[in-house]
Amino acid sequence: MTAFHFQRPEDFDLHEHFARSFGVFHGGGEVHVKIRFSAEAARYVQESKWHPSQQLSPQADGSLVAEFDLDGTEEIKRWVLSFGRWAEVVEPKELRHELGQEIEGLVARYPRTPATAQQ
């Protein structure tokens, strides 16, 4: 406990505050995210309502395109990574780049061959 008291503004609405968040992080922007899930992951993605803005478009090859309008990408980045090779960010290009950097770091940490792992 501290002597500091927070006074919540009368017009503050928690649900509205987090309406465009993918989880609990609140970003300050507006970003449209488009992700293609392979057929292996499509059914799982379709089984849940991940975000109020989601639009799911099943594709003829069994894959699924998911689109979201968010206020930031911090949490959806981790969500996409949780699908591994079965998810690909189509847009925005900045998010694709961030994920590429993250994956490069993973490849460096988890080498592809046992010989490389021993070095």
Q: 46, 14, 32, 115: which is closest to 76 by C-alpha?
A: 32
Residue 24 has pLDDT above 80, yes or no: no
Residue with the larger pLDDT of the pair 22 and 109: 109
CATH 1.10.540.10 fits 18-110, yes or no: no
pLDDT given at position 91: 97
The whole-model pTM stands at 0.73
Q: 32, 73, 28: which is closest to 53 by C-alpha?
A: 32
For 73, counting Cβ atoms within 10 Å of its Cβ (0-12 exposed, 13-18 middle, 19+ buried), the class is: buried
Residue 79 has pLDDT above 70, yes or no: yes
- Provide the residue ranges of all domains of the chain, joining segments of one domain with +: 18-110
pLDDT given at position 110: 87
Length of the chain equals 119
